[in-house]
Amino acid sequence: MKIGIIGGTGGMGKGFALRWSKNHEVIIGSRDAERAATSATEYTNLAKEAYGNINGKIIGSDNISVAKDSEVLVLSIPYDNIDSICSQILPEINDDCIVISPIVPMTKTDVGFECVAIKENKPFSHQMVEKHMKDKTKLVSAFHVISEKKLINPTLSLDYDIFVAGDNKESIEIINNLITEIEGLRPIYLGPGALAYLVEMSTPLLLNAMIRNKMKNPGIKII
Ligand SMILES: NC(=O)c1ccc[n+]([C@@H]2O[C@H](COP(=O)([O-])OP(=O)(O)OC[C@H]3O[C@@H](n4cnc5c(N)ncnc54)[C@H](OP(=O)(O)O)[C@@H]3O)[C@@H](O)[C@H]2O)c1
């Protein structure tokens, strides 16, 4: 499968690339194609170091080329840039392309980590992204509650749940499989995209728990 990562030069993008390159072609996207290529080389070396060999590969390109070429596209970009990036790239995707949003509308204030969508009465990420999609049922929200620190360390053993929200059963199944391929992650379906805001709010909750209780990169597991 061809998995494109918009903003793939960031921490989350690195984690996704390292994990999925075991079996898939991962295309790192950036506003700067050269930066994407440099990251792709770095991640390829790290993946080979960690796994010995990989069945997939990691390459890099500009965000728009990545969007055109992907079967699954991860929007690994900051909340503030959703409109500027999605308005350029989402009109370019194939009709069958499934889009993943891990985007968290979060800010740090005097009291701790807060949800900007609530604090500033702004839309949640899922709703902002779907406005730019031809077929909004192809949008799946996931990966809000796993830290990049855990994803980028392939030798670290994981045992976490990943909440998933979206409207289309087939798209959900494909993303659930990609989640399950990362050893130690379990997909937990929450419901339609209209409920994605619940998981977007869980990241500041988790980070406040982390800071106040001196935890290191916590995750969520339902027992
Ligand atoms: N970090 C975590 O542990 C974590 C956990 C769960 C969810 N998330 C969510 O996952 C997403 C990605 O997280 P991240 O930590 O990897 O993000 P990040 O490092 O802050 O940014 C990712 C990439 O977005 C691009 N970008 C940055 N500023 C931009 C701008 N003004 N306009 C256009 N593109 C810009 C950059 O790529 P180029 O400069 O190469 O274009 C950057 O490498 C975020 O929405 C975050 O809320 C993060």
Q: What is the pLDDT of residues 149-159, one digit of tens each?
A: 999 998 898 99
For residues 161 and 206, what is the distance between their CA atoms, to the nearest angstrom? 13
Residues with CB under 6 A from ligand 1: 7, 9-13, 30-32, 35, 76-79, 81, 85, 102-104, 143-144, 147-148
Domains of the chain in sequence order:
2-212 (3.40.50.720)
Q: Is the pLDDT of residue 176 over 90?
A: yes
Share of the chain above pLDDT 70, in %: 100
Q: Is 52 left (phi over 0), alpha (psi -120 to 50) or beta?
A: left
What does the DSSP 8-state code read for residue 182? S
Dump pLDDT digits (tens) for 63-103. Answer: 999 999 999 999 999 999 999 999 999 999 999 999 999 99
Mean pLDDT for the chain? Answer: 97
Q: Is the pLDDT of residue 7 over 90?
A: yes
Q: Which atom of ligand 1 is nearest to the CA of 15?
A: 16
Residue of the CA atom closest to atom 40 of ligand 1: 30
The pLDDT assigned to 21 comes to 98
Residue tagged 């609530």 (tokens): 118
Dump pLDDT digits (tens) for 122-156. Answer: 999 999 999 999 999 999 999 999 999 999 998 89
The pLDDT assigned to 82 comes to 98
Cα(100) to centroid(ligand 1), Å: 14
By the 8 A CB rule, do 63 and 88 touch?
yes
Sort 186 into a burial class: Cβ within 10 Å, 0-12 / 13-18 / 19+.
middle
The pLDDT assigned to 153 comes to 94
Q: How confident is the model at residue 216 (pLDDT cuts 50, 70, 90)?
A: confident
Dump pLDDT digits (tens) for 13-69. Answer: 999 999 999 999 999 999 999 999 999 999 999 999 999 999 999 999 999 999 999
Residue of the CA atom closest to atom 22 of ligand 1: 10
The pLDDT assigned to 120 comes to 95
By the 8 A CB rule, do 159 and 150 touch?
no
Q: What's the whole-number mean pLDDT along residues 104-109?
A: 97
If one residue of 62, 77, 147, 160 were mutated to test the ligand 1 pocket, choosing by the most ligand atoms within 8 A of its CB, it would be 77
Work out the angle between the directed axes of helices 11-20 and 169-181 (0-180°, nearest 10): 80
Q: Which atom of ligand 1 is nearest to the CA of 105?
A: 47
Residues 5, 29, 174: CA angle, nearest 5 degrees = 20
| pTM greater than 0.95 (yes/no) | yes
Q: How confident is the model at residue 169 (pLDDT cuts 50, 70, 90)?
A: very high
The pLDDT assigned to 208 comes to 97
Share of the chain above pLDDT 90, in %: 96
